Amino acid sequence: MSDNNITNIMVAGIGGQGVMTAAEILSQTALAQGYDVKKTEVAGMSQRGGVVTSHVRFGNRILSPAIPPGETDILVGFEPAEALRWCEQLRPSGVAMVNTMRQEPPVVSLGLFDYPEDPVGDILKAGINVHAFDAGAISRELGNPKLVNTVMLGAISKYLPFSAEILKNEILDRFRTHKPKLVEINERAFEAGQAAEVANR
Sheet of 36-43: strand order equals: 36-43, 51-59, 7-14, 72-77, 90-99, 129-133
Residue spans per domain, the chain: 7-199
What is the enclosing helix (H) or strand (E) of 187? helix 183-199
Cβ atoms of 103 and 49 within 8 Å: the answer is: yes
Whether the model clears a pTM of 0.75, i.e. scores above it, the answer is: yes
So what's the pLDDT on residue 201? 66
Distance in angstroms (rounded) separating the CA atoms of residues 20 and 26: 10
- C-alpha dihedral (184, 187, 191, 196), degrees to nearest 10: 90
- Tell me: the pLDDT tens digits for 142-191? 999 999 999 999 999 999 999 999 999 999 999 998 899 999 999 999 99
Distance in angstroms (rounded) separating the CA atoms of residues 93 and 99: 20
What is the enclosing helix (H) or strand (E) of 36? strand 36-43
- Tell me: the pLDDT tens digits for 102-114? 987 766 776 667 8
Which one-letter DSSP state was computed for residue 16? T
Number of other residues whose CB lies within 10 A of the CB of residue 70: 11
CATH class belonging to 7-199: alpha beta
Query: Do the strands 51-59 and 7-14 form a parallel or antiparallel pair, or are they unpaired?
Result: antiparallel
